[in-house]
Amino acid sequence: MSSSVTTEKDTNLKSQAGKKRSQWGEVWRRLKKNHMAMIGLIIMIILILLAVFANQIADYEEVAIKQNTANRLQGPSRENWLGTDNFGRDIFARIIHGGRISLMVGVVAVGIAVLIGGTLGAIAGFYGGRVDNLIMRAMDIFLAIPSILLAIAIVTALGANLFNLMLAIGISSIPGYARIVRASVLTVKDQEFIEAARAIGASDFRIITKHIIPNALAPVIVQGTLGVATAILSTAGLSFIGLGVPKPRPEWGSMLSDGRTYLWEASHITTFPGLAIVITILALNLLGDGLRDALDPRLKQ
Amino acid sequence: MSDNILEIKDLVVHYITDEGVVEAVNGLNMTLKRGETLGLVGETGAGKTTTALSILRLVPNPPGKIISGEIHFDGENLLELSEEEMRSIRGNKISMIFQDPMTSLNPVMTVGEQIAEGIEIHQGLSTDEAMEKAHEMLELVGIPRERAIDYPHQFSGGMKQRVVIAIALACNPSLLIADEPTTALDVTIQAQVLELMRNLREEFNTAMILITHDLGIVAETCDKVAVMYAGEVIEYATLEQLFENPKHPYTIGLFGSIPSLEHDVERLKPIKGLMPDPTNLPSGCPFHPRCSHAQDICKERKPIVTNIEEGHMVKCLIYEGVIEAKEVL
Ligand SMILES: Nc1ncnc2c1ncn2[C@@H]1O[C@H](COP(=O)(O)OP(=O)(O)OP(=O)(O)O)[C@@H](O)[C@H]1O
Ligand code: SF4
Ligand SMILES: [Mg+2]
């Protein structure tokens, strides 16, 4: 009896939710159908959870940092799931603490790039003309320098630490976002509904915030997701050549770098951080591609 | 208060592009009485949309520029108002319906929000009150109010155009400009949407400018007709006058046949030739390269307005008595 009541309520709620299905609800529904994207999303959620609860899972000072040379270069075992490195530190612990840094750098760097690049691109796209020319030519100059070189230059100039790393990677990817947002704003700006909004008396501010930005967001989301992957890769690259996070802080790239001397005797030292990088990049790319597919039909409509 | 809601005088609008100056509107004159419907017809590129956008002062700038002229709406010259005063007129006193309902709605806002937007801007109502009015407007155009929370892609083309009409009429404007409101719809839906527009227009006593290629729609809907060619109104008349007694060779060509005295009824081919290049308009009468009555003087002398009878005006040298028609018109 009571169960039948609840199911009735449930279906009621469901049909209502179905009706209220928003644009983003649609996107989510399409994304859910894409298995590869869902795998990517699940992996990312696990990685994020591991990073957030890294301290609860393995103590930073005791397990990830403290050297224990007696226990060095051990293969995977019950105590050390992924073995130990050349200083006898637990690789699993170092990977999840390293993941923290990777994800943080990825997200913050992309955040900086989207904020600055996006604003510049939006201004260029919306106002056009000379402003557009000025901004985009500056971006072109920026783009002529390979972004990893630019990041290296910035880190070398400012000094290697976490904050400068995020800044360097963020700044070096500004032009990419400026271009995307500009292109996106340009296509949206010329659509009839913008003119229709003007025709009902909407102000510039209203048009930008209510009509242009929400419609120009999709490609930025896709690019942002893929951008986090690139940023993680850049972080690893910079750390590999010693321009990343200072030791002994664990970072995937520097773990790879440290392990390469032991490639033959203890290949797990490099294999696992390498795998961590590969899996994260793969997951983000799967998710990004899925998002692109899920968002695209909306744009076509 | 004059009974003309709209008076356009000598309007000139150019698009200044790299390829040259497009003379989209060239000294256009037009009047519209309160509550009346005016059909604005003409080939593609005649400058119909540009005229409509000029009234709202929404000609894209750059490249477009209103060079000269006056547009009096309700006794006020719109071209002298500030941008802010203009904003308070758009969507409030003058509304516009665009050609394609598929693209004139914002895909990420519910239709309710979009109808409420204009009401919020102009009537200073709270979001809830505006939404309540939006629901009423939806019902008025024959869509259940429950659908206010749906997004445009969940509607068919005809329903979208109804939503667009609801947006346009939400603030009860005194002038509605509809730019080919039904060309994107299939024929049965066209009829329904036109019917709806006719009814609502009558109910609210809204004056309307209906832009179209379709003389059939004009015949069913309009009180007055203005025929545009190369940025000018070359013939202006009441519906009866124009359909029973078209004067301008171009208008006659539009109807597809010219009755002739020599032969019983001779069907003539549709107007030969193409619209002139708007960056390089012909001298004299802009229609002369295509006109079967054209004589040398037509290349030099620009026709002025001739009154055929009360309310029927035409721009052609034949009626100025300068030249003789080759056949009786
Ligand atoms: N943004 C623009 N830039 C340059 N030229 C333009 C622009 N908009 C319109 N034109 C030109 O101005 C002229 C008039 O165009 P308009 O759109 O007013 O014609 P129309 O009568 O509405 O035609 P249609 O029936 O195809 O809608 C055309 O020659 C057109 O090419
Ligand atoms: S003025 Fe001359 S060219 Fe122009 S429509 Fe009249 S007859 Fe034809
Ligand atoms: Mg047009």
What is the per-residue DSSP string for A2-27?
Answer: HHHHHHHHHHHHHHHHHHH--HHHHH
Q: Where are the domains of chain A?
A: 31-61+79-295
Question: Span A31-61+79-295: which CATH code?
Answer: 1.10.3720.10
Q: Is B170 helix (H, G, I), strand (E, B) or coil?
A: coil
CA distance B95 to A136: 37
pTM attached to this predicted model = 0.76
A19 pLDDT more than 50:
no
CA B226 to centroid of ligand 3, rounded, Å: 15
Name the residue with higher pLDDT: B186 or B269. Answer: B186
A108 pLDDT more than 60:
yes
In this predicted model, what pLDDT tens digit does every residue of B237-256 receive, in sequence order? 999 999 999 999 999 888 86
Closest Cα of chain B to A191: distance in Å?
A: 7
In this predicted model, what pLDDT tens digit does every residue of B125-184 receive, in sequence order? 888 999 999 999 999 999 999 999 988 988 988 899 899 999 999 999 999 999 988 887
CB contacts < 8 A (A, B): 78
Starting at the edge strand found earlier in the chain, the sheet holding B4-17 runs: B20-33, B4-17, B64-73, B76-77
State residue A297's pLDDT score.
57
Q: Do A301 and B108 touch (CB under 8 A)?
A: no
Give me the residues paired with residue A231 across strands. Answer: none
CA distance B89 to B96: 11
ipTM strictly over 0.90? no
Q: Please work out whether the CB of residue B236 comes within 6 Å of at least one atom of ligand 2.
A: no
In this predicted model, what pLDDT tens digit does every residue of A149-192 receive, in sequence order? 989 999 999 988 889 989 999 999 999 999 999 999 999 988 88
CA A46 to centroid of ligand 1, rounded, Å: 56
Give me the residues paired with residue B229 across strands. Answer: B232
State residue A301's pLDDT score.
40
Question: Which atom from ligand 2 is nearest to the alpha carbon of B295?
Answer: 2
Write the single-letter amino acid at B144: P
Mention every residue, 6+ apart, whose C-beta is less than 8 A from residue B224. Answer: B32, B36, B37, B38, B39, B236, B237, B238, B239, B311
Mention every residue, 6+ apart, whose C-beta is less than 8 A from residue B115. Answer: B133, B134, B137, B138, B148, B163, B166, B167, B170
Q: Please work out whether the CB of residue B47 comes within 6 Å of at least one atom of ligand 1.
A: yes
**Residue A178: HSE in the Cβ half-sphere, 13 Å Cα cutoff:** 23
